[in-house]
Amino acid sequence: MVSQLAPRGTIRRFASAGAINTLLFWIFWEVLRLSPALELLSETGVWAAAWVISCTIAHFTHRYFTFDGRKDIKTTMLGAFAVYAVGGILSTLSYEYLVSNLDLFIRMIFVINMLIWGLFTWASMRWFVFEYDD
């Protein structure tokens, strides 16, 4: 049934897995924001730390649910972390920009930034990391 509604490799299937990954990211981010880490690392620092933690989980979610496991895990792990590194750096920069320049509720900035970088991650993972082909 899932395969009919959201075939492997599609943005719909990625979004389904991504919703779980984003929830975990959000939990890590909120916990770090409520902890002394916020004072030690800053808003941008806790964003980056939560990103790194959730990316490790996300690789496996996308490997087994969104795409498939036909490529060697070392290859997909290296590729995924390259995508996550680029996305992490650029999303952290855009997060910093949004926090510094927009007078929006912090969680609205979170949502905007996650949507932008979620699309980047899906396209990069599909075409470059997993080289997924229908």
Would you state the pLDDT for residue 105? 93
pTM tops 0.75, yes or no: no
**Which backbone phi and psi does 26 adopt, to 5 degrees?**
-60, -45
Would you state the pLDDT for residue 59? 86
Is the alpha carbon torsion for 69, 73, 76, 82 positive or negative?
positive
pLDDT (tens digit, 9 = 90+) per residue, 65-116? 888 778 888 888 899 989 989 988 999 899 999 999 999 999 999 899 988 9
Amino acid at the residue 88? G
Helix 11-34 × helix 106-124 angle, to 10°: 140
Mean pLDDT on 33-53? 89
**Could you tell me if 12 and 66 are in contact, meaning their C-beta atoms sit under 8 angstroms apart?**
no
Amino acid at the residue 77? M
Provide the percentage of residues in the chain whose pLDDT is more than 70: 98
**Could you tell me if 109 and 99 are in contact, meaning their C-beta atoms sit under 8 angstroms apart?**
yes
Cα separation values, 12 from 5, 6, 56, 57, 119, Å: 8, 5, 21, 19, 11
Would you state the pLDDT for residue 1? 65
Residue 99, token pair as written in the block: 């926090």
| pLDDT over threshold 90, residue 31 | yes
